[in-house]
Structure 1
Amino acid sequence: MHGSGEEAREQFALLNTPLGQKWSGRARYAAAMYFNKRGELSDEALEIYRICARMDGEDPIAVLKSQHVGIAWLNRLNEAYQ
């Protein structure tokens, strides 16, 4: 995750809302929109989060990987998790 600030940390935490939790897909999508507006997430990757938004149990990261979309974003997430 690039940038700093409490808002970015909060949005990053929302990206990690547990799968299957009610409304979790929408929370992840809202956070993805935040990072898209900052130029950190591509429009194509945001579309994956949008599609997954109504499916609380669907992992947008797995979809991004399977579709080979958002490679720069995935790399950024990997860095943040290390």
Structure 2
Amino acid sequence: MTERDETEAAEQWMLVRTPLGQPWSGRTRYAAAMYFYKLGEMNAETLEVYRICSRLDAEDPLPIIRNRGVGETWLKRVGNG
């Protein structure tokens, strides 16, 4: 991974963890989730939860992912597994 790739990944990691409730935070998290999906680090079912939550700035996608049982690897990565 190049330095530029590492910088981009770090930025996307911060964005996917944008605090709940901030204006446009759901869309920000979804856009960052798409980045990780394209890298193969997130499955489609997990990305779908981020899509559903994208217009709900105060909705935490992680409990939904856990309840659906679709993103065990992702939950471990974010420390909620």
Relative to the length of structure 1, the TM-score reads 0.88
Q: Which runs of 5+ in 2 are unaligned?
A: none
Query: Residue by residue, what CA displacement relative to the aligned partner does 1:29-68 show, whole Å, maximum 9, x if unpaired?
Result: 0000000000000011000000000000000111111111
Q: Quote the residue 1:18 is aligned against.
A: 19
The number of residue pairs the alignment matches comes to 76
Question: Percent identity over the alignment?
Answer: 55
Structural RMSD (CA) = 1.3
Match of 2:33 in 1: 32
Find runs of 4+ consecutive structure 1 residues off by over 2 angstroms.
none
Higher relative contact order (CA 8 A, sep 6+): 1
For 2:45 and 2:17, how far apart are their aligned partners in 1? 19
Aligned to 2:48: 47
Which residue of the partner structure matches residue 66 of structure 1? 67
Unaligned runs of 5+ in 1: none
Greater Cα radius of gyration, structure 1 or 2: 2
